Amino acid sequence: MTIEIKRSTKPIDYKESINFLEDRVSKLINGKSKELIWILEHPHVYTAGTSYNENELLDKSIKLIKTSRGGKITYHGPGQIICYFVLNLNNRKKDIRKLVSILETTIIQTLKEFKIESFNDKKNIGIWVKNKSKLQKVAAIGVKVKKWIAYHGFSINVDNDLEYYKKIKPCGLEGNKIINLNVIKKNNYNNLKIKIIKNLIINLKKWVFLFLIIF
């Protein structure tokens, strides 16, 4: 399993990043490139997935970018870590549910290293925390599959401005249900990106190893 690790230090334009991912997908389908894990941040942007409904947009003046990923409307911006990937599911039993489970496990494991307990929800995809008796979402997941090549990724709110979420129903959620790590627990999250990469690679390797044994 050979995966290219890409880390961007400056915010990357959303459309530019998606074009890069889609080009990598095409190359991987044709056997001309490696798999990819890419850690980055975006400038302020609102995006809508394939399940988007117009009533999720509360501020009609917002410029919205429609995408091919799964999910509803969401916001990206500085202080939110994005983990994009391009992964070949042909080598992983073509199991999309297992991939989503690995993404969830990776986020939960990573947050636990910062002493933050989190969990998934079968009804609402993503990762949640219990903050002062209130359930709030701290990470979102969106995946698309083309010829069994999975891409897009997940986002973790670290210290982003939560006011931007008030202009939409993020992930279709009503009310104040989005939170970031800095609100949950003041901490130094500088090495969060490294831990995400480490945990994701470990979990992907376990998946391939178990698949080879079962197969």
- Say which DSSP state 208 is in: H
For tokens 């009503």, name the residue: 174
What average pLDDT does the chain have?
A: 92
- Say which DSSP state 166 is in: G
Catalytic residue (choose from 37, 129, 171, 181): 171
pTM: 0.93
Q: What is the pLDDT of residue 4?
A: 95
Taking Cα atoms as reference points, which of 195, 115, 129, 135 lies closest to residue 157? 129
Mean per-residue pLDDT for 62-91? Answer: 93
Architecture of domain 3-214: 2-Layer Sandwich (3.30)
Q: What is the pLDDT of residue 124?
A: 84
Domain boundaries, the chain: 3-214
pLDDT tens figures, 6-47: 999 999 999 999 999 999 999 999 999 999 999 999 999 999
Active site residue 171: yes
Which SS3 state, helix, strand or coil, does residue 198 take? helix
Contact 69, 49 (CB under 8 A): yes
pLDDT tens figures, 148-170: 999 999 999 999 999 999 999 99
Q: For the residues of 71-110, what is the DSSP string, one character each? A: S-EEEE-TTEEEEEEEEEGGGTTT-HHHHHHHHHHHHHHH
